[in-house]
Structure 1
Amino acid sequence: MISIRGLTKSFRGAPVLRGIDLDIEDGEKVVVIGPSGTGKSTLLRSLNFLDVPDAGQITVGDLTVDAARASKSDILALRRRTGFVFQNYALFANKTAKENIMEALVTVQKRPRAEAEERALSVLRETGLAEKADSYPAALSGGQQQRVGIGRAMALGAEVLLFDEPTSALDPEWVGEVLDLMRRVAEKSQTMIIVTHEMQFAREIADRVVFMDGGKIVEAGPPSQIFDAPRDDRLRRFLKRVGRDQGAG
């Protein structure tokens, strides 16, 4: 489903991704963990060129995009195959929940407005927000806003859903409802790549956990290996530190 080869990215000359290689199977749930500032979000954002990689290849299905030669049409094609969920929701403040979900369906996928509206309402029902269809983001809780953000990604029918720390901006009271929705999405055999600091959730949902440090993949494996029998000292130290903060791991 997804193949990443030699992915690099620097900001102002400082390397953030240092040659990432990663393969992800169709329907696999991969959770990326690691210290802050180690390149996790940059990796996710590079997969659909929200951050343009310096070098490397990204393959999703039968589409391969080379960072050094990517055209606008390549990038657009890649984005059509990926749905992105932002940590800060990234909703249009002047659009209702329904209109936020419709936006990409109309502007990117060129669907008729009536069809886009029907799809948006269906997704809102699925996310438990049918009664909030005509509400603006300011009238929604943080958890509801993030559920709209997830619904927007779901509505596109993308082959891969990318979640960039989807609960990090939420008050603790709203985290559970967002994680519950993500669990329901995962049950549909949806391919998902999730950057998160929620270790218990990672243990529950992941087929594979990837630990990053210093812009590289240090260790990867099933949750039982990563959390119960970590091999790398950096991973062991990270889990101990996170365990103190969360009471998990």
Structure 2
Amino acid sequence: MTSNAAISVTGLNKSFGDTSVLKNILLDIEAGERVVVIGPSGTGKSTLLRCLNYLDRPDSGSIRVGDLNVDPASASRADVLALRRRTSFVFQNYALFANKTARENITQALITVKGQSEADAIARADETLRETGLIDKANSYPAALSGGQQQRIGIGRAMALDADLMLFDEPTSALDPEWVGEVLDLMRRVAEKRQTMLIVTHEMQFAREIADRIIFMSDGQIVEQGPPRQLLENPQDPRTKAFLRRVGKTGSSEGYS
């Protein structure tokens, strides 16, 4: 493991009942690196992201973000809150508050997670809405927005937090096909800023374009990783080869991720 990595995950394990979902995950992510995670369904990709944000508490292992180190054996509520201030999460089902406007969905996170004043939160929310191209929807409720617009608000909420690490859990999987492009375009713009990103996705061509590194997971483990061209065109592990044959190297792996 690289001691100077911006994010370092060591020996991460997670089980649900008798089912072991993550098995001794070791992962370093450099500042500004865009890492994409692919793999079959049920292999622990989403659980990995949720553990990094402590939405699911790991059973063992440590997560270090900058100078903050969190271990489930000793993690306090303050440690978890500190970790969540340094990570932001984009959910596949948007996870917007139905009773709050687009602007309020962003300001809520800034006030509760970052402790900003209402005035500062509104100013940052409006700046983010302009970045996402949705300032004209600031006072709209989620029910009045398309799926693509809702997910762009979800990404905007994560952007506004200025976190060390942005986590994307299959951000296009719940979208109708006509909305996928606008969400991927916004993610490309985020990536161009060298935002540190860990992305679980079934969009293989997008992974090829955006990733500095692609990780293939299977059976709760990181099986293989490398630059996109290397992993997609010359995989070494039989499980990676079988997965890529099944989904195609550039198409969508929807239904398998």
Shorter chain as denominator, the TM-score bin is over 0.9
Q: Offset of 1:111 from its aligned partner?
A: 1.0
Gaps of 5+ in 1: none
One-letter code aligned to 1:143: G
* Residue equivalent to 2:58: 53
Q: CA offsets, 1:100-127, max 9 Å, x none?
A: 0000111222211111101001000000
* 2:75 paired with 1:70: yes
Question: Given the superposition, is the C-alpha separation of residues 158 and 244 from structure 1 closer, same or farther in structure 2, using an over 3 Å criterion?
Answer: closer
* Residue equivalent to 1:181: 186
* 2:98 paired with 1:83: no
Between the aligned partners of 1:202 and 1:104, the Cα distance in structure 2 is 28
Secondary structure at 1:69's aligned position in 2?
Answer: coil
* 2:164 paired with 1:159: yes
* Residue equivalent to 1:106: 111
Secondary structure at 2:73's aligned position in 1?
Answer: helix
Secondary structure at 1:146's aligned position in 2?
Answer: helix
Q: CA offsets, 1:175-224, max 9 Å, x none?
A: 00000000000000100000001000000000000000000000000001
* Residue equivalent to 2:3: none
* 2:26 paired with 1:15: no
Between the aligned partners of 2:152 and 2:252, the Cα distance in structure 1 is 26
One-letter code aligned to 1:49: Y
Q: Which of 238-247 and 56-65 deviates more?
A: 238-247
Question: Given the superposition, is the C-alpha separation of residues 202 and 245 from structure 1 closer, same or farther in structure 2, using an over 3 Å criterion?
Answer: closer
C-alpha RMSD of matched pairs (Å): 1.2
* 2:201 paired with 1:190: no
Gaps of 5+ in 2: 1-5
TM-score (norm 1): 0.98
* 2:41 paired with 1:36: yes
Task: From 210, 217, 221, give the equivalent of 1:216.
Answer: 221
One-letter code aligned to 1:37: G
Q: Offset of 1:243 from its aligned partner?
A: 1.6
Q: CA offsets, 1:23-69, max 9 Å, x none?
A: 11000000000001000000000001001000000000111101211
Between the aligned partners of 2:204 and 2:238, the Cα distance in structure 1 is 18
| Runs of 4+ residues over 2 Å off in structure 1 | 244-248
One-letter code aligned to 1:101: I
% identical equivalent positions:
71
One-letter code aligned to 1:129: L
Secondary structure at 1:21's aligned position in 2?
Answer: strand
Q: CA offsets, 1:123-180, max 9 Å, x none?
A: 0000000100000000000000000000000001111100000000000000000000
Question: Given the superposition, is the C-alpha separation of residues 199 and 245 from structure 1 closer, same or farther in structure 2, using an over 3 Å criterion?
Answer: closer
Secondary structure at 1:52's aligned position in 2?
Answer: coil
Question: Given the superposition, is the C-alpha separation of residues 174 and 132 from structure 1 closer, same or farther in structure 2, using an over 3 Å criterion?
Answer: same
Q: Offset of 1:240 from its aligned partner?
A: 0.9
Secondary structure at 1:80's aligned position in 2?
Answer: helix
TM-score (norm 2): 0.95
